[in-house]
């Protein structure tokens, strides 16, 4: 009786493993277009997890020398970026957004151009790899200062 139960449990666990990737979906993946000669870039995205807690442990792309997971911390009132080992992806929504967690591209092969896109592989501890396409948006996307900059430029003419 006990043996049968254990065997059944093992089968259920084995079958449920591959479908776990289906619990995680990634959407709204974008990066900011490079300004000038910038050699670094960042990507942002939204992760939905309908299953158990997972972790984003790394990311891969061939557009730069290195791809790192970063967060922003407040250090004596100064916002600083810091590399992190992983980003917690708990049940629900996890946002990687400007001013928070992001995927950092260090040593870009070339600047990120608005309107282009590039492939990115996200590696989750449990769900495994998920391939996404990163859309490059205008340098001022989500930035509050863009309107002011335009206004000042007009005044200077």
Instruction: Tell which one of 24, 104, 122, 132 touches Cu ion (CB under 5 A).
Output: 104
Q: Is 103 in the site for Cu ion (CB under 5 A)?
A: no
* 107 three-state secondary structure: strand
Minimum CB distance to Cu ion, residue 104 (Å): 4
* Of 67 and 127, CB closest to Cu ion: 67
Instruction: Tell which one of 70, 101, 103, 120 touches Cu ion (CB under 5 A).
Output: 70
Q: Are the C-beta atoms of residues 101 and 84 closer than 8 Å to each other?
A: yes
Site string for Cu ion, 12-51 (x = CB under 5 A): ----------------------------------------
Q: Which residues sit at the interface with Cu ion, rule CB under 5 A?
A: 70, 81, 104
């Amino acid at each position: 009786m006990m043996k049968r139960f254990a065997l059944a449990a093992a089968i259920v666990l084995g079958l449920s493993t591959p479908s776990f990737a289906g619990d995680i979906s990634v959407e709204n993946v974008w990066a900011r277009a490079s300004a000038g000669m910038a050699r670094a870039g960042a990507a942002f995205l939204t992760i939905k997890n309908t299953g158990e807690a997972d972790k984003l442990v790394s990311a891969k792309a061939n557009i730069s020398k290195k791809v790192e997971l970063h967060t922003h911390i407040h250090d004596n009132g100064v916002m600083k970026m810091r590399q992190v080992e992983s980003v917690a992806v708990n049940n629900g929504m996890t946002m990687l957004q400007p001013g928070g967690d992001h995927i950092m591209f260090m040593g870009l092969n070339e600047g990120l151009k608005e309107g282009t896109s590039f492939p990115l592989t996200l590696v989750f501890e449990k769900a495994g790899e998920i391939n996404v396409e990163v859309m490059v948006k205008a340098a001022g996307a989500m930035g509050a200062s863009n309107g002011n900059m335009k206004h000042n430029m007009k005044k200077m003419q």
